[in-house]
Amino acid sequence: MSESVKHIIEELSKQIEDHNYNYYVVAKPVISDYEFDKMLEELIKLEKDHPEFLSPDSPSQRVGGQITKEFKTVKHKYPMLSLGNTYSEEDLTDFDDRIKKALNTDYEYVCELKYDGVAIGLTYKDGILVQAVTRGDGEKGDDVTTNVKTIKSIPIKLRGHGYPKEFEIRGEIFMPRKVFDEINKEREEIAEQPLANPRNAAAGTLKMQDSAVVAKRNLDCFLYFISSDELPYQNHFDNLKAAKHWGFKISEHMKKASDIQEIFKYLNQWDTGRHNLEFDIDGVVIKINSYEQQRILGFTAKSPRWAIAYKFKTQRVSTILESISYQVGRTGAITPVANLKPVLLAGTTVKRASLHNSDIIEKLDVRVGDTVFVEKGGEIIPKIVGVDESQRHADSPKTIYITQCPECDTALVRSEDEAKYYCPNEMGCPPQVKGKMEHFVSRRALDIDSLGAETIAQLYDAGLIKNCADIYELKKENVLKIARMAEKSVNNLLEGIKASKKVPFERVLYGIGIRHIGETTAKKLAYYFKNIDALKNASLEQLIEVGDIGETTAKSILDYFVDENNAAIIEKLKANGLQFELSDEALINSSDKLKDLTFVVSGVFSKFSRDDLKKAIEQNGGKNSGSISGKTNYVIAGENMGPEKHKKAEKLGVPIISEDDFIKMIGTDTVLNTEDILN
């Protein structure tokens, strides 16, 4: 029976990795997302029931869940040098002349896109990913292996054959533009500052402590350089082609060039073509193809002599600022928008640019009628970066930021610790009311497919819904009176509303739209407090005790529940059968036996996976920590516990317990004290 289960897990793992490869590397999926998710769910369940067969290279490890408090600094086996940069074709010609003079024989180049992301070095041994290290200072970088394993285009286990026993492959981790846009949309919805650009977003994501959050960010990676003592080919191009067969994502835009004119042709192609890509590039990298010729050319102190990066100039244009309008978000946040005289920028016609907040307007001293400079650069949304004051009219009035809501005329407010102004009329300001309902029915919240923004606007304008609770009291005969609402559409809508009553508590909590509460925070709050009443009655101090809940977020939660209108909506949603407490399944083995106790989990376990062990700690009221300190109550040690952690625990006098000791702790009516466990 055991061998049969082991075989099923191995076969399922192989199929899932094949589908990962087809989807993320060669972009030719052969099954639907739903079928893939079901396969992954089956694998996770089997591994949970049979943890002895859980492999560190299992595709289930891509969902994340491990917490890294500190990223270990490690020395690069091969230094990660920077490339020399240029913005001019003249410099490239000089580079080619130096190559010609030094080699005095035939040579060829490889041209590649220069990805605007985070450099990474991946080490593989016997076809298994063992370490992922950032560039750092070139000599040493941070070990981010746990987070990198969540990136689906990076193979944990290689395919095919012919790869070296041990090698390092380098590349660039990046955030696709679509993912970046989605994250910023959500951040703006919960009144958080939008991320500046995809490059910074990728860098910040890669250093997040919770790998489960990293997994949700959907980072991607192109690989572009291999180092090893036993590579199959003696040139760069062919080895990268081989790497594609091993499972790595290698750009299809890589191209050989026999002379400088072919390089110029490649540059011109991508100076315009880059705007049609789904990711950001900031230039092109040119490398000598032959390894022997690379060795002859050698290195300077900082960079290889056989490679150079050509960087595209930042896209900047000037145009006229015709007016400034103000948008109201679902949280009441006011965003000023510059309405521009249409101008061509980076291949698209730009008519609008974000001005973010009043501080930006003040800093730029931007005024209606000004000639302004607009850039894209690494930004997705065009932004105004300056004003040509020499073109300003002498009588140009200074921009005065609005004081009343442009939608409902309510006086705006601004907290000392925030950059934006807000309209406080949550229940009466139309964009806020409709925006809250749109968020409530969105895919990651209540997921009511048939109820989009247009339908919500129609129902609101008809007076049928004024808040998200009203959605559950819609009557068929009333909805049928709405324009373009046929009987089939109405039936689908009502069925979708009915089905949403089964959505679990954490998603309902996210859906009700408490300011500063995103999807991840909502889940943490749900599992910590277990029901809406406990959360509602929590004090500021109790809220701050929850991981990653700061004072601003805690105050936002308190303010939400103090409001009588919000309380009435919650009660109405409860009466309509929505889930405002964790399900029985989620509450299995839940208790407060480990309340106020902090644990560090280290090593490999036989009866729990590490993630399940941490989940058991949280379900029983305890807290997980990634590092040992004076505040740690217990270290749960499995096989191969790190010697440094063991040494630190002994030095601080922190009890080290086994997996079985922990099971006793949660399996008894009272928490065992240290003496009970150690005896």
What is the pLDDT of the chain when averaged over all its residues?
A: 87
Nearest alpha carbon to residue 600 among 641, 640, 639 = 641
Distance, CA of 224 to CA of 284 (rounded, Å): 12
Task: Using alpha carbons, select from 138, 110, 101, 79 the residue that is nearest to residue 297.
Answer: 101
For residues 590 and 180, what is the distance between their CA atoms, to the nearest angstrom?
36
The number of helices, as runs of H, and strands, as runs of E, in the chain is: 26, 20
- In angstroms, the CA 530 to CA 545 distance is 15
Query: What's 109's domain CATH number?
Result: 3.30.470.30
Domain end (from 293, 311, 329)? 311
Quote the pLDDT of residue 608: 75
pLDDT in tens, 396-408: 999 999 999 999 9
Task: Report the percent of the chain where pLDDT is more than 70.
Answer: 94
| Same domain, residue pair 202 and 223 | yes
pLDDT grade for 677, boundaries at 50, 70 and 90: very low
Higher pLDDT pick, 197 / 542: 542
- Of 391, 417, 449, the position where a domain reaches its end is 391
Q: What is the pLDDT of residues 89-124, one digit of tens each?
A: 999 999 999 999 999 999 999 999 999 899 999 999
Answer with the residue of higher pLDDT: 577 or 189: 577
Residue identified by tokens 């040509």 is 388
Whether 424 is covered by a domain: the verdict is no
Q: Is 398 a catalytic residue?
A: no
Residues 603-612: pLDDT tens digits? 878 777 777 7
Do 452 and 552 lie in a common domain?
no
Please tell me which residue, 679 or 286, carries the higher pLDDT value: 286
Q: Are residues 212 and 357 in the same domain?
A: no
Are 511 and 366 within one domain?
no
One domain for residues 114 and 203: yes
Last residue of a domain, one of 391, 415, 448: 391
Average the pLDDT over 161-173 and give the result.
95
How many residues would you count in the chain? 679
Same domain (yes/no): 189, 130? yes
Helix or strand or coil: residue 319?
A: strand
* 447, 482: one domain: yes
Express as a percent the part of the chain with pLDDT over 90: 50
pLDDT at 505 over 60: yes
pLDDT of residue 97: 95
Structural domain contains residue 406:
no
Q: 388-404 in b/e burial notation, b at 16+ Cβ within 10 A?
A: eeeeeeeeeeebebeee
Question: Do 78 and 128 fall into the same domain?
Answer: yes
CATH of the domain at 594: 3.40.50.10190
CA atoms within 13 A on the CB side of 481: 9
Inside any domain, residue 338: yes
Lowest-confidence region among 10-19, 328-337, 584-593: 584-593
Contacts of 539 (CB under 8 A, 6+ apart): none
Give Cα 72 distance to the centre of its chain: 22
pLDDT for residue 668 is more than 90 = no
Coil, strand or helix: which one is 49?
helix
What is the C-alpha separation between 412 and 67, in angstroms, rounded? 40
593 and 630 in a single domain? The answer is yes
> Of residues 114, 383, 593, 623, which has the active-site annotation?
114
Q: Is the distance from CB of 422 to CB of 358 less than 8 angstroms?
A: no
Q: What is the CATH number of the domain that holds 443?
A: 1.10.150.20
Q: 200-214, 248-262, 289-303, 340-354 — which one is most confidently predicted on average?
A: 248-262
- What's the average model confidence in pLDDT over 114-141? 93
Q: What does the pLDDT read at residue 676?
A: 36
In the structure encoding, which two tokens stand for residue 640, read together? 């191969």
Whether 517 and 503 have beta carbons less than 8 Å apart is answered as no
377 pLDDT tier (thresholds 50, 70, 90) = low
Which residue in this structure is represented by tokens 């991840």? 520
Return d(Cα 522, Cα 509) in angstroms, integer. Answer: 6
Q: Does the structure show a pLDDT above 80 at 32?
A: no
What CATH number is given to the structural domain containing 28? 1.10.287.610
Arithmetic mean of pLDDT, 40-66: 81
Please give the model's pTM, rounded to 2 decimal places: 0.58
Task: Answer whether residue 142 is part of any domain.
Answer: yes
CATH of the domain at 336: 2.40.50.140
For residue 267, is it within any domain?
Answer: yes
Domain of residue 370: give its range: 316-391
Rounded CA-CA distance 391/377 in Å is 24
Residue type, 39: M
Same domain, 150 and 238: yes
Distance of alpha carbon 272 from alpha carbon 254, whole angstroms: 16
206 in the same domain as 122: yes
401 domain residue, yes or no:
no
Contacts of 141 (CB under 8 A, 6+ apart): 73, 74, 76, 80, 121, 133, 134, 135
pLDDT, residue 494, reads 94
Q: Do 306 and 333 fall within a single domain?
A: no
Q: How far apart are alpha carbons 222 and 172 in whole angstroms?
A: 6
pLDDT value at 536 more than 80: yes
Domain total for the chain?
A: 6
Pairing of strands 128-134, 118-125: antiparallel
Q: Is the pLDDT of residue 26 over 80?
A: no
What value does the mean pLDDT take over residues 223-241? 95
The answer to the question of residue 422 being in a domain is no
Residue-wise pLDDT tens digits, 420-430? 899 999 899 99
Residue among 134, 147, 181 nearest 68 (CA): 147
416 within some domain: no
